[in-house]
Structure 1
Amino acid sequence: MSDGLFDLSGQVALVSGASRGLGQHFGRALAKAGADLIVTSRKVDDLTAFVAEIEALGRKAIPLELDVRDQGSIERMAAAAEAAVGQVHILVNNAGCNVRKPALDVTWDDWNLVLDTNLRGSFFVAQQMARRMVKHGYGRIINIGSVTSVFGYSGLAPYGASRGGVRQLTMSLADDWGKYGITVNCLAPGWFKTEQNKVLYESKEWVEYLVDRIPLKRPGQAHDLDGAVVFLASEASRYVTGQTLLVDGGISTGAMRATVQAPANADKEK
């Protein structure tokens, strides 16, 4: 029954923000499932090593320049992608950024940087690719969100607002584009170590604090996302759209104990 459901052979996936981090992990997982790639970054030279890695897997990889805060850059990238491969079947809308500050310290420019990149950029990249997917009557759009789209965290006001917007945007676009054979879903990672948050993981106390609130008792590892991105890109998810798939070890359950734990030495005291 599962034959071919997760096979991406013959398909092309475009992954934005693929110069490092989770973007590369998403691209790698899709390539291993059979897809050829178009990978983007603000600086094409930053993609050289990753392109070579994908080609070593026996897949094609085309690097393109993309600044998601620049409308012209988005339009040029979409046109170049179409010219290079004809049909792009899958979009992984991954490019994003964060400014980690207490809410009282967030500046006008901080807010605009995060929202323009994560929310406005996600919409207009999706729009450009969807215009082309419509012509083929097929598409898989995967917006990369975050557990912050459903859970509040201090110090992440602009980021949480942008990711909450991505979640809502996903539902709206799914409704808009479903009639064209395009599914739109949001893949929302929980706490994964990235370039943006690696400083937190340098604190043993913070990591212990985090792990205590994750039901599976560990932070996420990049490979934990592989199955989810392949699922949302493949035929296996053909009747799934408008959804946010949280891959977070369960932290979005609320992760607060409603019972009092006995002290570790309780038995000895008896």
Structure 2
Amino acid sequence: MYLPDFRLDHKLAVVTGGTKGIGKAIALAYAESGADVILIARNEKQLKKMKETVESLGQQAYTICKDIQQYDAIKEEVEEIRGDRAIDIWVNNAGMNIRSEAENVSEEEWDQIVSTNMKSAFFLSQYAGRVMKQHRQGKIINISSVGGHTALRTGVVYAMTKSALIQMTKNLALEWGKYQINVNAIGPWYFPTSLTEQLLQDEDYVQSILERTPLNRIGKLEEVSGAAVFLASDAGNYMTGQTLFVDGGMTIYGF
């Protein structure tokens, strides 16, 4: 058999920030691939709509309406939902950015970005890792950014947290590999999300992006979700500690 299995039948996946943008695309791709999904987000209306969409694909959907910084409460709800089931896949997707120049970053902005993007991802990964260790298998996928690899013009704190996710991915992969837990990251470039919506309306800004993108276009959300399915499936079983940049070639140049 030369084609590995990309299906996720009978798996349980958790996706933070699972109602919009990249998180939504990943959650729907997992459902299409056969997984049941636990969706974590703050907007109850969007969660309800996503639940209906996932269930229309023939899979079970569960929702947790919490801010990602409420990780203790999130863990309790996941425990209640999963019962005796393993957590097969955990995606740390939820994140935020405040595009301040370095000299203008306030302590409040720092705390908010670091807590959302980095602290929550670590403690939720810690929880997922403990559960996966009991079952001696699992896939953790962190949504980083090209900004964690190369310099961006603004958003220094965001870039720092995304760089931290890349390093966290390596360390957790090293610690948990003996339990057959794979920990990888995805580093997207520009995709149509709520974080990029306003920027992508600026023609000059878009042109500056395209000049640094060999494929000369903005990414499509399904092009991120395809990478997420690969890393979550048996096809990705021998990958761990890696960051897969889905960037149209941007990291060849830097920015």
Q: TM-score range by the shorter chain?
A: over 0.9
What is the CA–CA distance in structure 1 between the aligned matches of 2:243 and 2:59, rounded to whole Å? 29
CA distance in 1, matches of 2:219, 2:142: 19
Cα deviation, residue 67, structure 1? 2.5
Matched, 1:231 2:230: yes
**How many corresponding residue pairs?**
255
Give the number of the structure whose alpha-carbon radius of gyration is greater.
1
Aligned residue for 2:133?
A: 134
Q: Deviations over 1:201-249 (max 9, x none)?
A: 1111111111111000001111111220010000011111000000000
1:103-252 superposed matches below 5 A: 103-252=102-251
Would the aligned equivalents of 1:8 and 1:34 in 2 still touch at CA under 8 Å?
yes
Q: CA deviation at 1:12?
A: 0.9
- Give, in angstroms, the shift of residue 4 of structure 1: 5.6
* TM-align CA RMSD: 1.5
Q: Report the TM-score, using the length of structure 2 for normalisation.
A: 0.95
Deviations 1:58-106 (A, max 9, x none): 11111123332234223323322332x6211001111111111111111
Match in the other structure for 1:66 = 66
TM-score of the aligned structures, taking structure 1 as reference length = 0.90
Which structure 1 residue ranges, 5 or more long, are not aligned?
257-270
Give the AA of the match of 1:55.
E
**Shift, 1:10, TM fit:** 0.9
- The one-character-per-residue Cα deviations of 1:162-211 (angstroms, maximum 9, x if unpaired) are 00000000000001111111000001111112111211111111111111
Comparing 120-129 and 3-12, the one that deviates more: 3-12
Residue aligned with 1:143, SS: strand
Q: CA separation of 1:127/1:78 partners in 2, compared to 1, >3 Å: closer, same or farther?
A: farther
* Structure 2 partner of 1:22: 22
Write the distance in 2 (CA, Å) between the matches of 1:234 and 1:148: 26
**Quick one: higher RCO (CA 8 Å, sep 6+), 1 or 2?**
2
Partner SS for 1:175: helix
CA displacement at 1:36 relative to structure 2: 1.0
Q: Distance in 2 between matches of 1:227 and 1:46?
A: 23
Structure 2, unpaired ranges of 5+: none
Instruction: Quote the residue 2:49 is aligned against.
Output: 49
Contact persistence 2:148–2:164 (CA under 8 A): yes
Q: Which residue of 1 aligns with 2:8?
A: 8
